[in-house]
Structure 1
């Protein structure tokens, strides 16, 4: 497995979005921040240790990437891909 993954794939595999198209829409609208830089592009590389901030319902979700995905598996598998950061909803 590579040490990077496209942002849209990571969001999809980690089950934060229902489709890669929705991940692309979030990026196009400037809703995703990668390592403190707003306006992350859909094709940007995500690495273990990166911090992502994005909308989750009416709240904002901040997570640290713990692993890259190989597939969109069950929620229990996806949950091991990230760590929720405190101070964000």
Structure 2
């Protein structure tokens, strides 16, 4: 299992559009991927789960992946969330 914790700097957080992109990116991996905020974990491949997390600017989230491509999954999703600017 690989995990990475980061702070969301995007002024609008993870709203509908970036949530959809995040889910599409997560679905490209074989690994089980979860997103955690404030102790609540959701499947990062579920748009409803990601949207329900209500991730705002300044929120701390943890991306966790377990599977054959876990390292690449966490690395790519981390880059996406760190560069999120819309």
TM norm. shorter chain > 0.5 = no
> Which gives a bigger RCO, structure 1 or 2 (Cα 8 Å, sep 6+)?
2
Q: Which is richer in helix?
A: 2
- TM-score for the superposition, normalised by structure 1: 0.37
